[in-house]
Amino acid sequence: MKKIFLLFFLALGSWCLGQELALVRTSGKFGYIDKEGKFVIESKYIVAKNFSDGVAAVLENGLFGFIDKKGEWVIRPAYTNVRYFNSGICIVEKDKKWFYINKKGEQLNFPASDKPFDFGDGVAFIRQNEKMGLINTEGTIILAPKYDVIKPFQGGFARVKFGEKWGVIDTKGTPVIECKYDEIGDYNNNTAWAREGEVFGVIDKTSFNKVEGADKIWDFGKSHLTYARKGGKIGFIDKTGKWVIEPQFEAARAFNKGLAPVRIGKLWGYCDETGTLIIKPSYPDAEVFGDNGLAPVKIKGWGFLDTKGVLVIAAEYEITGFGFGIFKGEEKGFIGNLARVKKDKKWGFIKPDGSVLGNIWFENAEFFQE
């Protein structure tokens, strides 16, 4: 019997750790709801931040501390300002000094840096003598400061600048793409776009493939195609740099679910991977399809249509790609099976069937975070 209870509590703990909560404001105070729309932590904080790495910063008596997903203190209030936990480490301010702490609230003595940088993907930047390097969560320098710029890591890779040239490194500081390009995009699925002089191309692992006539390329995302510009028009290229859909649109966005938003004249529609218009241009604005097969489109307000072009949620909302914190959604519209929307000056979450999560609207609401 004791073993059963132990397994139950272990399972409960794992569920709490993986549970996503959304920061919301009601009656001027902040609390947190779950994905059923129920308050897990009641609205009682004058100032609060999103959950990150399993904890959230809240203000009490003028000082910040951190709570867990049960609303219990993990670190008692002691700081005048705080950032967000990542990889078990957070930057905090006390007595007008910024430094790192762990989840026990212990101060960490890490290598000297011109300023502390947030952790992400298990590493953080250090800057010494105007050069950038990397440390790990143990405070070990894994990349001695050598780069002029390191951009934030995306999916385990970061763009770096050495002198006037750009390349890509991984979280160990190992070069993935040599710093020899005048411009470079984010590295996704072994692919990035780059510019050599006036020539734009695609780097597929190590080879640079020129994209004929391109004067701008956007980052590759989930699809094997991305959009690029040639002669003032937008088309789509593959990872070898080949034009798959010839430039013919005024604007475009990324493919998902086999369709991409494209603009002809002043109106947006959707084409498939052959360039065939599947949903004719009819909308003043349109966004990328979510993984659930619904895309935001604008008429007067924003609504959602399916891959057949049927408007399944009325166009009566405002939408945004990010909330009032630092976290940004990967896309506007549905993230998972919830979309953050605004109606009549209130914020809430709608489901794919158009119903409102918990049938409740808030003064403000953030995206769900772990």
Q: pLDDT tens for the chain, 370 residues: list them.
A: 544 444 444 444 444 557 999 999 999 999 999 999 999 999 999 999 999 999 999 999 999 999 999 999 999 999 999 999 999 999 999 999 999 999 999 999 999 999 999 999 999 999 999 999 999 999 999 999 999 999 999 999 999 999 999 999 999 999 999 999 999 999 998 999 999 999 999 998 779 999 999 999 999 998 999 999 999 999 999 999 999 999 999 999 999 999 999 999 999 999 999 999 999 999 999 999 999 999 999 999 999 999 999 999 999 999 975 444 444 444 589 998 999 999 999 999 999 999 999 999 999 999 999 9
* Domains of the chain, start order: 47-108 (2.40.10), 110-187 (2.40.128.630)
H or E stretch at 82: strand 81-82
Q: How many residues comprise the chain? A: 370
* Amino acid identity, position 292: N
User: Both tokens of residue 135?
Assistant: 């440390």
- Please give the Cα distance from 281 to 304 (Å, whole number): 15
Classify residue 232 as exposed, middle or buried by CB count within 10 Å of its CB (0-12, 13-18, 19+).
exposed
Q: List the beta bridge partners of residue 91.
A: 100
Classify residue 313 as exposed, middle or buried by CB count within 10 Å of its CB (0-12, 13-18, 19+).
buried
Other CB atoms within 10 A of residue 278 CB: 15
User: Both tokens of residue 272?
Assistant: 């498939």
Q: Which of 157, 148, 271 lies closest to 205, judged by CA? A: 157
| Whole-number pLDDT of residue 270 | 98
- Please give the Cα distance from 71 to 56 (Å, whole number): 9
- Please give the Cα distance from 226 to 321 (Å, whole number): 20
| Whole-number pLDDT of residue 322 | 47
Q: Which of 29, 21, 19 lies closest to 364, judged by CA? A: 29
- Please give the Cα distance from 261 to 271 (Å, whole number): 7
DSSP code string of 23-57: EEEETTEEEEE-TTS-EEEEEEESSEEEEETTEEE
**In sequence order, what are the residues at sequence separation of 6 or more whose Cβ sits closer than 8 angstroms to the Cβ of residue 159?**
149, 150, 151, 166, 167, 168, 184, 185, 186, 187
Other CB atoms within 10 A of residue 304 CB: 28
